[in-house]
Chains A and B, each alone.
Chain A
Amino acid sequence: MSDELRHGYWRSLAELAGAAGLREDAMREFPLGADAPPPGMARRTFMKLLGASAALAGLGACTRAPAEKILPYGRRMPELTPGTPLHYATSMVVGGYATGLLVESHEGRPTKVEGNPEHPASLGAAGVYEQASVLQLYDPYRARSARDGQTPLRWTDFARALHTMPGAEPGGTGVGLHFLMRPTSSPLTAALIGRIRERYPEARFHFHAPFDERAVAAASLALFGDVVMPQHDFTRARVVLALDSDFMGSGPFSLRYARDFASRRHSAIASTSGADAGQEMSRLYAVEGMWSPTGTLADHRLRVRAGAVASVAAAVLREVLRLRAGALQAGAVDAGAAVAGADAALVRDALAATAADAPAPRPWIEALARDLANASGSGIVIAGADQAPAVHALTFALNEVLGNVGSTVWYGTAPIFELGTESHDLGALVDAMRAGAVQTLVVASGNPVYDAPVDLDFTGALKSVRHAAYVGMYENETAAACRWFAPESHYLESWGDACAYDGTVSLIQPLIAPLYDTRTVDELLAVFAGTDGTGGNSAHGLLRESWRDRSGGTFEERQWEEMVGRGVAPDTRSARLSPRLRWPAFPPLIRATTRQTGHIELVFERDPRVYDGSFANNAWLQELPDPVTKVTWDNAAVLSPATAAKLNIESGDVIELSLDGREQRAPAFVLPGHADEAITIRLGYGREGAEEVARGIGSNAYRLRTRAAPYVGGPVEVARVLEGGRPLRHELATTQMHWRLQGRDIIRQATIDEYRRDPELTSAQNTRQPSLYDRYDYSKGDQWAMTIDLSKCIGCGACTVACQAENNIPVVGRDGVLKSREMHWLRIDRYFTGGEEDPAAVMQPMLCQHCEKAPCEYVCPVNATVHSEDGLNEMVYNRCVGTRFCSNNCPYKVRRFNWFDYNREIAETVKMVKNPDVTVRERGVMEKCSFCVQRIRRAQIEAQLEGRAVRDGEVVTACQQACPTQAIVFGSYTDPASSIVRSLSEKRAFTVLHELGTEPRVRYLARITNPNPELEERA
């Protein structure tokens, strides 16, 4: 082994030293990559070698705690008991905002990410990116060493090299020294930037991310004279209008919003079954072009392409104002809420102009407006960050007019550093580069070469910069274009801080010492901040320093420990502001909306799986099906059936999109319910860097994305690509081929009124079936059961990834998915109901139903799957011989088979992500959801030691823990007080395929919607 190690080690070094081309070739030898089954033998061996080198570099870290004192979650410091995992609070930053996490660590090895219940953005839930981030830590394709050209450097040498660069010399003024960073909300980073500016007055900072909030900032700057961020309280919202906003599925506070929205909805539904039909159920209107998780849950979804959202919003505001005016004459409401006299005319005209071609049926707008007006003060209008300033302006106005501001909506200072200022305009930097004003460019993380607006030609401009240094986690496109490169630490290796969307300062503490010679961005900045020239001082030191400064010296060790231990800095939430809306600024802002009609527009969206491309190398995320299209390992040009028919395109046809004279090919995907006259394409694919998993997957839509039209472009020309006269095809690996229910009673739904009228609507599907056999006694001890609330599930997929991480589920790669061999224990089935053009969508998480009369069990010839006393359908891996009869006889098809030896050939580093509590399965055996039996047994053992029964909520399955909307409830039904009993006894509970008499332990709660009676016939 050690031989092999040394070999691998030298080999990887040799590559670092070798020519770029050579390295590329070697890299291309890689298999599908981290955690994916390798196709060929040569690749496997190479994989081993590199994995081994990784092991030499980093495996030691298994038992290597960070040098500094890191603090476990909870009051006291428990000693580490081998076998008992510890949880540490930390935070992950996505799009500049922090989400608080608790990370499970086994003997100093982080394996699983959960949400931090005390963190406002999480409340205990963790999204897809957070769940999958732990795999990125162990990604064998992470950059391991700094370099100058092709010469490997130590990080310290790299830091020294930085100081020799023009503008960065110690004592210099910083002329020609430019920094390009991702937008940040970190107080520490801000402090460091401040110091650097003191030291180098001429140094310039620029912030760029492919997805930012500049539109919101612009609108709020114009209307409020200040950059403020709208904050929302969905627990008190009766009517919600989402203007192209996926507030539950993506965005900095989506986990929190999803939780709040769902909890209110649920309490309303639950209360109906009880005596009081009291609490009013919230109603959600969604206006969007492409399906978003939020849209799937909407009571009314208006299918409108992104470019036309502004006009719809205008139409709504116009209608609301009309109602208001009426109310005004009646003197019903205070004038303050409505538009002040003088501006009224201007506003009306502007609205008239904008709303002119609102592609929405008039009754729909009126009904919505009435609904919003009636819910005055308890409604929310929320706009997607990617929408134009006009839409945000309209949103601000709507909330203002509706009197929501102050109750359900308020404003807070923007946590993002210098948001809305010139420094957030990449164009300025590029101009400077062109002008030769940039001698030294330090790119701190991000990937501008890949994701900068194409018309800026950042790459071209970069050539004119003599000293370009890049610090990032991967040798990606940007790294390839920079002479100097240094690897960045993963957040689980980092000290730092960042703000949540509401301003709460969240601490980032490392779970493990850096696997390789890496540093954080803050440590990079510290090099220039010049506390000492070598960047020797750690982020840990810097962080404590900055906190001491902030607290004015009165900062004690105890406070620090408290704070780091909890992961949240107490009372740092930004104050509630209610800035006055300046109506005169309003008309020009909404007039500015460019309205295009009569052609096809191209909409650029962040990808729900790889975000902007920065998570593209994560095999878990690549294999996670898109919430609605269910496409894996690819992005596609999504369009509606009507548009597809008009263009004579079918799913899987490769089409060429030309926008402003630039072409890009992408496979088409026809999606019912997508807006007509529009094509949506996700960004973040078609990578060309050294991220071997991501390399060459999908189509790079950044090549069409311009500075002027970052989100909605058009007109776009669409042409099928022909090859030899035949249309060129690209098979998309989707996990679900059929989306009709075929008239099968798999999903129950009803409107709230129907449910109130007939609460028994599912009674036929939750009773026990007659049987010839007498039932086993399932009344004693723990009896595990689960409910899944279809009224809450938004299909985000967090549960799927959480399950994958918790249960060591392998990745099968694109080929595997194409062959329908995905291994996910928990999948989310997506069905459409209604017409193909404008259907409703419903999500149904499907996992092992743990049937009491399990069809899989009695057909197993070797007793490899049997029933436990506490009602689990147990899978005995080491008894299984792999006849696959069980899968054939499982009506839910939730059993998975190890077609190959998925776990043998994975890199050493990736082995570190495996959960030691869960068997890693061999080739040729079946596997399936176990209700996280490892967690159940751990809890039972603890309970037994303490001589008590397992408490309600003590066992939390991975999926349940991750679910933002808490759609999943789990527990033992023998405890009458438990939440599972409450949930099971809800009238709308039903079992899928009840007629088969399988007696599942998983029950679904019928989906209850709350359509507007005025529009019901449309719903």
Chain B
Amino acid sequence: MSIFSKRRRSSLLAEFASPEELARALEALRTAGYGELETYTPFDMPRTTPALGLRRPLLPWLVALAGLAGGITTYWIQWFANSWSYPLNVGGRPLHPVPAFIPATFEGTVLTAALVAFFGLFVSLRLPALWHPVFEIDGFERATVDRFWIEVGGVQSELDARQMRHIANEAGALRIVPLAMEDR
């Protein structure tokens, strides 16, 4: 039976023993025009990122905005509490002591920014997701230890598949595993 159908798209995964091989295969596949590439590596390999063809992340801007908002809110809270809602003569100090409000404002900025960054990370990665199809591949658990995987998605035809296998083997793939998954 064919693994290809209308509703389901399939991908092939290739396992490598070293980062170098992974890098080579990745380059080759890219030049061969495979679009939907993904890697699974035990550690971060920044140099391979461009090959995945990703857009520049929005998160940093989000974080910046959050920080700004956090800062403003914190300052507002202090101003509201001490200068507006219940102004008190405290030691003859001014009712709106700007310098005194700075430290908390700074902390507020950092805190909100950090929270948005942290949760932004997992939201944007759709984590936590304790199950993922790739986990079904036996031996895949070594992807967090010493094995390096490439996933080639959107393989539409046997031809594509064969070519992909060829390139992967050229690069020294230990094995190649087809994987069918729900259309995301």
A touches B (Cβ under 8 A): yes
Spell out A's residues near B (CB within 8 Å).
Answer: 771, 773-776, 851-858, 860, 863, 866-869, 999
Q: List 24 A-B contacts (CB under 8 A).
A: A771-B92, A773-B93, A773-B94, A774-B94, A776-B89, A776-B92, A851-B91, A852-B92, A853-B91, A854-B92, A856-B91, A857-B90, A857-B93, A858-B90, A863-B86, A863-B88, A863-B90, A866-B88, A866-B89, A866-B90, A867-B88, A867-B92, A868-B89, A999-B92
Chain B nearest CB, measured from A633 CB (Å): 36
Residues of A with C-beta under 8 A to B93? 773, 857-858
Does B92 contact A855, Cβ atoms closer than 8 Å? no
Q: Which of B90, B91, B93, B94 has the largest count of A CB atoms less than 10 A from its CB? A: B91
* Complex CA–CA separation, A847 to B69 (angstroms): 47
List the A residue with the shortest CB-CB distance to B92: A853
Interfacial chain B residues near A867, Cβ < 8 Å: 88-92
CB distance from B97 to the nearest CB of A (A): 9
Q: For residue B94, which residues in chain A have a CB less than 8 angstroms away from its CB?
A: 773-774
List, in ascending order, chain B residues with CB within 8 A of A775's CB. 92
Complex CA gap A774/B89 in Å reads: 12
The 8 closest A-B pairs by CB, nearest first: A857-B91, A858-B91, A867-B89, A853-B92, A854-B91, A866-B88, A857-B90, A858-B90
How distant is the Cα of A854 from the Cα of B91 in the complex, in angstroms?
4
CA of A774 to CA of B92 in the docked complex: distance in angstroms?
Answer: 8
Chain A residue contacts of B90, Cβ below 8 A: 857-858, 860, 863, 866-867
Residues of B within 8 A of A863 (CB): 86, 88, 90
Residues on the A chain within 8 Å of B92, using CB: 771, 773, 775-776, 852-854, 867, 999
B78 to chain A minimum Cβ distance, whole angstroms, is: 13
Q: Which residues of A contact B86 (CB under 8 A)?
A: 863
Q: CA of A869 to CA of B88 in the docked complex: distance in angstroms?
A: 10
The docked-state distance in angstroms from the alpha carbon of A773 to that of B89 is: 12
CB distance from B101 to the nearest CB of A (A): 13
Look across to chain A and name the residue whose beta carbon is closest to the beta carbon of B100. A858
Task: Please give, as numbers and ranges, the residues of chain B lying within 8 Å of A852 by CB-CB distance.
Answer: 92
**B69-100 at interface with A (beta carbon < 8 Å):** 86, 88-94
Given contacts A773-B93, A852-B92, A855-B91, 4 further A-B contacts (CB under 8 A): A774-B94, A853-B92, A857-B90, A857-B93
Closest to B93 in A: A858
Give bound CA distance, A868 to B88, whole Å. Answer: 9
Q: Report the count of interface residues on B (CB-CB < 8 A).
A: 8
Instruction: Please report the C-alpha to C-alpha distance between residue A480 and residue B90 in the assembled complex, in whole angstroms.
Output: 59
For residue B91, which residues in chain A have a CB less than 8 angstroms away from its CB?
851, 853-858, 867
Q: Which of B86, B88, B92, B94 has its CB near the most chain A CB atoms (within 10 A)?
A: B92
Provide the bound-state CA to CA distance between A866 and B87, in Å: 11
Bound form: Cα–Cα A632–B105 in Å: 50
Residues of B within 8 A of A851 (CB): 91
| In the complex, chain A residues whose CB is within 8 Å of the CB of B88 | 863, 866-867
- Assembled-state Cα–Cα distance A775/B92 (Å): 7
Residues of B within 8 A of A771 (CB): 92
Instruction: Give chain B nearest CB distance to A376 CB in angstroms.
Output: 56
Chain B residues 95-117 with CB under 8 Å of chain A are none
Would you give the 0/1 interface string for B6-22, flagging 1 where the beta carbon is closer than 8 Å to chain A?
00000000000000000
CB distance from A279 to the nearest CB of B (A): 40
**Nearest A residue (CB) for B86:** A863
What residue of chain A has the Cβ atom nearest to residue B94's Cβ? Answer: A773
B26 to chain A, nearest CB (A): 57
- C-alpha gap A848/B159 in the complex (Å): 93
Give CA–CA (A437, B103) in the complex, Å: 89
Quote the shortest CB–CB distance from A488 to chain B (angstroms). 53
User: Which residue on A lies nearest to B89, using beta carbons?
Assistant: A867
B77 to chain A, nearest CB (A): 15
Q: In the assembled complex, how far is the CB of residue A889 from the closest CB belonging to chain B, in whole angstroms?
A: 9
Give residues 6-55 of B contacting A (CB, 8 Å).
none
- Nearest Cβ in chain B — how far from A875, in angstroms? 13
Could you tell me the distance in whole angstroms from the C-beta of A859 to the nearest C-beta in chain B? 8
Per the bound structure, the CA–CA distance linking A946 and B88 in Å amounts to 30
**Measured between C-beta atoms, what is the minimum distance from B142 to chain A in Å?**
55
What is the minimal beta-carbon distance from B86 to any residue of chain A, in angstroms?
A: 8
Contacts of B89 in A (CB 8 A): 776, 866-869
Q: How far is the CA of A776 from the CA of B88 in the complex (A)?
A: 11
Closest to A856 in B: B91
Residues of chain B within 8 A (CB-CB) of A868 are: 89
A855 to B91, CA, bound (A): 6
Q: Which residues of B contact A776 (CB under 8 A)?
A: 89, 92
Q: How far is the CA of A400 from the CA of B176 in the complex (A)?
A: 131
Nearest CB on A from B42, distance (A): 49
Residue in A771, A853, A867 whose Cβ sees the most chain B Cβ within 10 Å: A867
Residues 146-173 (chain B) with a chain A CB within 8 angstroms: none
A276 to B101, CA, bound (A): 56
Q: In the assembly, what is the distance between CA of A857 and CA of B92, in Å? A: 9
**Bound complex: CA of A866 vs CA of B88, how far in Å?**
7
Instruction: For B82, give the chain A residue with the smallest CB separation.
Output: A863
A858–B91 Cα distance when bound, in Å, is 5
Please report the C-alpha to C-alpha distance between residue A854 and residue B89 in the assembled complex, in whole angstroms: 10
List B contacts of A853 (CB < 8 A): 91-92
Give Cα A127–Cα B3 distance, bound, in whole angstroms: 107
Q: Which residues of B contact A866 (CB under 8 A)?
A: 88-90
> In the complex, what's the smallest C-beta–C-beta distance from B96 to chain A, in angstroms?
12
Distance to closest chain A CB from B134 (angstroms): 53
Q: How far is the CA of A853 from the CA of B91 in the complex (A)?
A: 4
Closest CB of chain A to B43's CB: distance in Å? 46
CB distance from A266 to the nearest CB of B (A): 32
Docked Cα-Cα span, A579 to B89, in Å, equals 67
- Interface centre among B88, B89, B93, B94, by most chain A C-beta atoms within 10 angstroms, is B89
Q: How far is the CA of A856 from the CA of B88 in the complex (A)?
A: 14
Q: With A and B bound together, what is the CA distance between A773 and B92 in angstroms?
A: 8
- Considering the complex, give the chain B residue whose CB is closest to the CB of A859: B91
Whole-angstrom CA separation of A482 from B116 in the bound complex = 85
CB distance from A632 to the nearest CB of B (A): 33
Measured CB to CB, the closest approach of chain B to A238, in angstroms, equals: 46
Chain B residue nearest to A774 (CB atoms) is B94
Nearest CB of chain B from residue A872's CB, rounded to whole Å:
11
A866 CA to B91 CA, complexed, in Å: 7
Residue of B nearest to A999 (CB): B92
Q: Looking across the interface, which residue of chain B has its beta carbon closest to that of A868? A: B89
Residues of B within 8 A of A869 (CB): 89
Cα-based distance from A851 to B86 in the complex (angstroms): 22
How distant is the Cα of A856 from the Cα of B91 in the complex, in angstroms? 7
A864 to B90, CA, bound (A): 10
Distance in Å from the Cβ of B91 to the closest Cβ of chain A?
4
Hey, which chain B residues are within 8 Å of A999, CB to CB? 92
Least Cβ–Cβ distance between B66 and chain A, in angstroms: 27
A775–B93 Cα distance when bound, in Å, is: 9
Shortest distance from the beta carbon of B128 to any chain A beta carbon, whole Å: 39
Inter-chain CA distance A855–B93, complex, in Å, is 10
CB distance from A397 to the nearest CB of B (A): 61
Residues of B within 8 Å of A860, CB to CB, are 90
B112-129 interface with A by 8 A CB criterion = none
Measured CB to CB, the closest approach of chain B to A472, in angstroms, equals 53
A792 to B93, CA, bound (A): 36
A277 to B125: give the CA distance in the assembly, Å: 92
Q: How far is the CA of A999 from the CA of B94 in the complex (A)?
A: 16
For the complex formed, measure the closest distance between the CB of B47 and the CB atoms of chain A, giving whole angstroms.
51
- How many angstroms from the CA of A357 to the CA of B90 in the assembled complex? 64
Q: How far, in angstroms, from A854 to B88 measured CA to CA in the complex?
A: 13
Q: How far, in angstroms, from A776 to B95 measured CA to CA in the complex?
A: 10
A999 to B92 CA separation, bound complex (whole angstroms): 10
Chain B residue nearest to A854 (CB atoms) is B91
B95 to chain A, nearest CB (A): 10
Chain A nearest Cβ from B132, distance in angstroms: 49
- Complex CA gap A852/B92 in Å reads 6
A858 to B92 CA separation, bound complex (whole angstroms) = 8
In the assembled complex, the Cα of A860 lies from the Cα of B91 at a distance in Å of: 10
The CA-CA distance from A350 to B86 in the complex, in Å, is 81
Q: Tell me the minimal C-beta distance from A857 to chain B in angstroms.
A: 4
| CA of A868 to CA of B91, assembled, Å | 10
Give the distance in Å from the alpha carbon of A661 to the alpha carbon of B48 in the complex. 105
